[in-house]
Structure 1
Amino acid sequence: MKKHIKALRFAFPYTIPVLSGYMVLGAAFGVLMSRQGIPLFWIAFSSIFVYAGSMQFVSVALLSAGFDYPGVFLMTLIINARHLFYGISFLQKYKNKGKLKPYLVLSLTDETFSLLCNIEPPAEVLPKWFYFYISLLNHIYWVLGSLIGGILGSLLKLETNGLEFVLTALFIVIFIDQWKSAKNHLPAVIGILSASACRIIFGSSDFIIPSMAVTLLLLTLLKKPLERRPIK
């Protein structure tokens, strides 16, 4: 029990920025779902088992339009394809994590990935429990935010125009925070240039997967020079 408390105590401070973002994002999702007449139970079910913020926002429109199963499958694959690259980069980090591994994989959201990429587990705790509690806390924040939004949306008449932008806003804030804290800005520059070039070439609806592939390829090719010469 002590090891769990210690891991939780060390993990919590790192998740505070995600707490503030997920409560707002989750609440926005909950409000949008409740305005579609979705019961609170299904809002919670989606946030617990789907747990894919951007796809959950898209699912609001899909639910209101009626399900097209092949279309939903392709849409989900395209939107969440970036997690393929997250998973590849975390193969070593999540190696030998035993029974915790399935949950760590499920809970690897953009924000959790960002945190775990930039922090090292303290020497006082086992890495697997440190990773687990960061992932679990972030998951709890999202579920709580969704439930709060679902309750508010069913009780109050709220204006929902523009709520979907909060997800983009959170990504921008996380990027700025990483830029300030990173000693090497070249990976971020590579990501920006790759995304910009692929958007021009492939268009706004099809650029995500190519840009992730290009970014991963360039970072792989430049891995040793980047590790050898940090750029301030």
Structure 2
Amino acid sequence: MSPTSAWKEAGKLTLPVMFGYLPLGAAYGILAVEVGMPWWAALLMSLIIYAGAGQFLAVALLAAGAGLMELAVATLMLNSRHLFYGLSLLKRFQGAGWRKPYLIFALTDETYSLITTLPTEHGNDHGLAFRVSLLNQIWWVLGTIAGVLAGTTLAFNSQGIEFALTALFIVLTLEQARRLRRWLPFAIALFTGLGGVLLLPDRHLLLGAIGAASLILLFHYRLGRDRETTP
């Protein structure tokens, strides 16, 4: 496959993310400028941090006058879900060579969703995974640039614009469900998510739901192994 065809293929795969990241990155850029962050700092965060929801959280905490320690702890708690992402990609990233550091750095929720649902004929195609990851960050950075430009030149009410993140998660979840055609992971996610909303305080909701879902999946895996070994 020629380099041009390879990038075109990656571009087609990242189209759903592009339609989410451009407005979402713009929303982040606008909010960053509105709370008094310099435009270059907002753009630099998208280049060297690239954390999506973590950047929204950082903007909100900085606007509230939070210290660096509070910001670090809150970001760690929010992005701790990436520990589970990384564990599930240990084998897939083996042999990635010079691409591996960037694949780890650029592993957002949306990129994880795309990489783990690549067509089976690609297998562990590290080149394709790298192109998908890079294009996704490019969409985010372009959205950020549009947002900081709009925030510095236009005046409008941006209330509710952050809902783009939730909308993107919904689209990617539906896409994964359509491709995988396995109901159990999504049923577990729904059950633990609703349980977290009903039983846990907001600050513990994400970790509690992820932890509960992981325990249920591990129990299901162990149960399946026991059935296989039972004569």
Q: Name the aligned partner's letter for residue 81 of structure 2.
A: R
> Over aligned residues, Cα RMSD in angstroms?
2.1
Which shows bigger deviation, 25-34 or 206-215? 206-215
8 Å Cα contact 1:10/1:122 also seen in 2: no
In the TM superposition, residue 122 of structure 1 has moved relative to its aligned partner by 4.5
User: Alignment length, in residue pairs?
Assistant: 224
Q: Is the 8 A contact 1:25 1:166 kept in 2?
A: yes
In structure 2, the partner of 1:219 is: 217
5+ residue gaps, structure 1, are 226-232
Match of 2:199 in 1: 201
* Pair 71,177 (structure 1): closer, same or farther in 2 beyond 3 Å: same
AA of the residue aligned to 2:102: Y
- Counterpart residue number, 2:227: none
Residue equivalent to 2:29: 30
1:38-70 deviation per Cα after TM superposition (whole angstroms, max 9, x unaligned): 232212111011111111111112222234122
Is the CA contact 2:25–2:144 (under 8 Å) kept in the aligned structure 1? yes
Stretch of structure 1 that moved more, 177-186 or 164-173? 177-186
Residues of 1 paired with 2:117 and 2:142: CA distance? 25
| 1:94 corresponding residue in structure 2 | 93
Alignment of 1:43-54 (within 5 A): 43-54=42-53
**Correspondence list, 1:5-20, <5 A:** 5-20=4-19
Normalised to the residue count of structure 1, the TM-score between the two structures is 0.88
Moved more, 77-86 or 67-76: 67-76
Q: What is the SS of the residue equivalent to 1:29?
A: helix
Shift in Å, 1:126: 7.3
Whole-Å separation in 1 of the counterparts to 2:173 and 2:87 = 21
TM superposition score normalised by structure 2: 0.89
C-alpha displacement of 1:196: 1.8
Alpha-carbon displacement from aligned partner over 1:198-223 (angstroms, at most 9, x marks no partner):
33332222021122122223223434
Residues 168-209 of structure 1 show CA distances to partners (whole Å, capped at 9, x for unaligned) of: 121122222333333111110011112222333322220211
Distance in 1 separating the partners of 2:147 and 2:61 = 19
Question: Deviation above 6 Å: which 4+ runs of structure 1?
Answer: none
